[in-house]
Amino acid sequence: MCGILCVWNTYSQTNKIPPEFGYVTDSLDLVVLEIRYASNHNFTGKPINGYQQPEAILSKKALQQLKKANEFFLRKGYTFKIFDAYRPQRAVNHFTDWARKTEDTLTKKEFYPNVAKKDLFSLGYIATKSGHSRGSTIDLTLIDLKTGRELDMGSPYDFFGEISHHGTRKISKKQKKNRKLLKKGMRKFGFIAYPKEWWHYTLYNEPFPNTYFDFPVR
Q: Does the annotation mark 197 as catalytic?
A: yes
The answer to whether 44 and 107 are in contact (CB under 8 A) is yes
CA distance 156 to 199: 9
Q: In what order do the strands lie in the sheet with 197-203?
A: 32-33, 78-84, 137-144, 197-203, 191-194
Of residues 110, 150, 162, 197, which has the active-site annotation?
197
The amino acid at residue 95 is F
Report the alpha-carbon distance of residue 58 to residue 186 in Å, rounded.
15
Look up residue 131 and give its DSSP letter. G
DSSP secondary structure code for residue 65 in this structure: H
d(CA 104, CA 211): 31
DSSP string, 11-63: TTTSS---TTEEEGGGT-SS-EE--GGGSS-STTSSPPTTBSSS--EEEHHHH
Which residues carry out catalysis?
197
